[in-house]
Structure 1
């Protein structure tokens, strides 16, 4: 192991022995010492002359000859390797760019958290506290906003390239996904009428369990036994939380479980139906096609199951105009949830996204308790904590099994 005293900016150094063999080594951090293993093939280089050359910044290669001492220490001559003019400014600019990118990522995650938690809390307020008891119509408002904003973002603003539907079969596959997606969102909104947000999130955290079940039933895909073992605390935690939930409502619980199962089914179906390279769509383009289809599915359901909801909404608006602004803001947030989720996925790793997603549920629970003051028990919080811990273990097991 030889010591090289670095006296210039980072560069790639070609170190050549007297026998003509060489390798490249990147030297990092100017004015510091690093340990450099001098290897030729699998053998350490013996004491003797070294020919060290640099070709940094596109300049003509320059070489110097140095000696390796008994202790293996190498000292480069003063002023070598050649320093490209302006390199310190360039490095400072790169550091500023990295700092700016880090700030952008943090702001993006904050926007993702805010939009997710915001739309969840506003749904709860409208459907439960405010008394707007029309979850299907509310979901249709969300999907209408997603349709309009998706078209603007992709067709006009060119945030992502437009991907077209290539066949009738692909169209029907997206329609099936849209139907399952509608069920998951509508059922989730219905459950908020009967359950507090904290318990709703505890049940929603069991999505990995349903995903594993549907993946096995539909694709016969088996996970490692350790992965299945981590699902035990996920389910056990919800059972404990259910027993300790002061505001437990059986119908709301069943509907929330159905919503969680539908959400998992949609993710499995998406992997099956849009698995070929010609049919894969990024999440923004998928939303562009799914949202209008969802409106088509939700419109007759709204007219049949929520009779005269438009007239009732207009009557409410005459008494309190804030309901219109609530609906518009809530619908816009629903699109922003999808947009920020796409951007966070793009700018972070899959592991980071999993960790952030787990933490997001816990933050939503705390915020909802502070805002709505719903009663919680120690048993319920212990159950939810166990579920989140199980989800973290599940994510880790999935990562190791790949």
Structure 2
């Protein structure tokens, strides 16, 4: 009787472990799909479809993030609601939102001029900018080995730039700006929300950042992309699919954040780093297959060198903790 009960208990445990693994794999697949999906759809809309309004597109993303974050937290209780404790904390979050807006808008602008494969190669240099900003703003020094591993990160992009047949200087500058702003947001977040009482999980941070981003992007859209709503309505009269593209793309932008939070929660930081590096490579392959943009051996070599540098950087940081 006892042996049978023990066997049943062991079977249930194995089944639970298998179910847990299946759930984690599903989360990772959803994270990859939403990440790569929003990237490719942004590229299609801004470059191939001819929807040349990256600021308005970003505002659509942030509007969806505002609404869906509220639904996920207030209605579905994915995470407990964390309230803001002071006006100072609100201003700190607003500063983060401004940098975040700069990152997303610059990234979307770069997609108008650069193929996704090269965009991802440049984006892989985020650790370099993170280390630079951390040193400048917090005087936080890493071990020399960590800084040495950043050399191939930068060298790879230089090689990839030289071998990129679709290289566009303005697009490259925007992509570098987006990458630097993304790194700056990470460092600022660590500084501004370092107090225990001010720490917010990523879902709650998005809940407060997204509406601020909409408020910041609205005047920028009206001033820099004149009559964008009228032009979008005119486009919709010719092809109503643009409305569905924008709605789906905006919802997908939220699910990028949601799945990133869930994958972070259900895996280790090291697993997340490895998955992040692999995700960039998958995005490159998928984008080349879909958009058929020319890729040279030199370009792929440069990207490979950058990814190898990022992996070495992650290992060096892990050993020096």
TM-score in terms of structure 1 length: 0.79
Match of 1:266 among 185, 192, 209: 185
Match of 1:162, SS? coil
Taking the TM superposition and a 5 Å limit, the aligned residue runs for 1:222-371 are: 222-371=141-290
Displacement of 1:137 in angstroms is: 0.1
Match of 1:164 among 65, 83, 97: 83
Change (3 A) 1:376 1:85: closer
Runs of 4+ in structure 1 deviating by more than 3 angstroms, as ranges, are 82-85
Q: Does 1:396 align with 2:293?
A: no
Indicate the structure (1 or 2) with the bigger Cα radius of gyration.
1
Taking the TM superposition and a 5 Å limit, the aligned residue runs for 1:2-401 are: 83=2, 86-401=5-320
1:192-222 CA deviation, whole Å, 9 max, x = no partner? 0000000000000000000000000000000
1:145-167 CA deviation, whole Å, 9 max, x = no partner? 00000000000000100000000
Displacement of 1:230 in angstroms is: 0.3
Whole-angstrom distance in 2 between the partners of 1:381 and 1:141: 33
Match of 2:265, SS? helix
User: Which structure: greater strand fraction?
Assistant: 1
Match of 1:246, SS? coil
Unaligned 5+ runs, structure 2: none
Whole-angstrom distance in 1 between the partners of 2:226 and 2:249: 22
The higher-RCO structure (CA 8 Å, 6+ apart) is 2
Aligned residues: 321
Whole-angstrom distance in 1 between the partners of 2:33 and 2:165: 27
Unaligned 5+ runs, structure 1: 1-81
1:10 corresponding residue in structure 2 = none
Whole-angstrom distance in 2 between the partners of 1:277 and 1:252: 39
Displacement of 1:260 in angstroms is: 0.3
1:48 corresponding residue in structure 2 = none
Match of 1:397, SS? helix
TM-score in terms of structure 2 length: 0.99
Match of 1:193, SS? helix
Whole-angstrom distance in 2 between the partners of 1:240 and 1:84: 64
Displacement of 1:84 in angstroms is: 6.2
Match of 1:86, SS? helix
Whole-angstrom distance in 1 between the partners of 2:2 and 2:191: 55
Whole-angstrom distance in 1 between the partners of 2:305 and 2:275: 17
Q: CA RMSD in A?
A: 0.8
1:344-401 CA deviation, whole Å, 9 max, x = no partner? 0000000000000000000000000000000011000000000000000000000000
Displacement of 1:85 in angstroms is: 5.9
User: Which structure: greater helix fraction?
Assistant: 2
